[in-house]
Amino acid sequence: MSKETFCEAEERRFEKIVNFGLPNRYKKIGIVIAIVSFLSIIVLKISGVEFSETLKFISKRVLLVGLLITAISKEKVEDEMIHSLRVKAFTGAFISGVIYTLIFPAIVYAAKLVFNKEENLLTDVGDFQILWFMLFMYLVFFYLMKRKV
């Protein structure tokens, strides 16, 4: 196998991954999954029912899967403009996620100092929190930009 054909094959595989998208009908499925999971987390929290860490872990991951399915589902008309909006939305979500990850611990630290809570002043942002924030921000940015066009 020559080097050119190997590089071309790798480029083709990369393009397939980059341009991956679920059919449009999955967007509704992802929204339903995310809403049901989000509501179940809230209802269990409000009701005061002690639920296991396993159920909490699963509910959070199902919420992320629902948001991801919604994010990677194609639009009814998938053209160059939609692709450009997706790139801008992912860029905005990534930058927002980094800023959130850097600033949130400082805000929590300041709040704990003000309210004199001495236990564990520095807290880190968890993986679920970062992923949820970035996927949510992507969807917000994408739909706001799409509405403007």
Domain boundary among 56, 74, 92: 74
Q: How many domains, in total, are found in the chain? A: 2
Contacts of residues 46-50 at CB distance under 8 Å and 24 or more positions apart, as own/partner, are none
Domain boundary among 74, 107, 136: 74
- Model pLDDT for residues 79-126, shown as the tens digit of each residue: 999 999 999 999 999 999 999 999 998 888 888 888 877 677 777 888
pLDDT > 90: percent of the chain: 54
d(CA 29, CA 22): 11
Please name every residue paired with 109 in a beta bridge, in sequence order, or none if there are none: none
9 has a pLDDT exceeding 90: no
Cα 75 to Cα 27, 58, 85, 107: the distances in Å are: 8, 28, 12, 37
d(CA 147, CA 149): 6
- Can you give the residue range of the structural domain that contains 115? 76-149
Compare 92 and 51 and report the one with higher pLDDT. Answer: 92
Tell me how far the alpha carbon of residue 79 is from its chain's centroid: 23
Looking at the structure, tell me whether residues 123 and 107 fall in a common domain: yes
Q: Structure pTM?
A: 0.82
d(CA 93, CA 74): 18
Which residue type occupies 58?
I
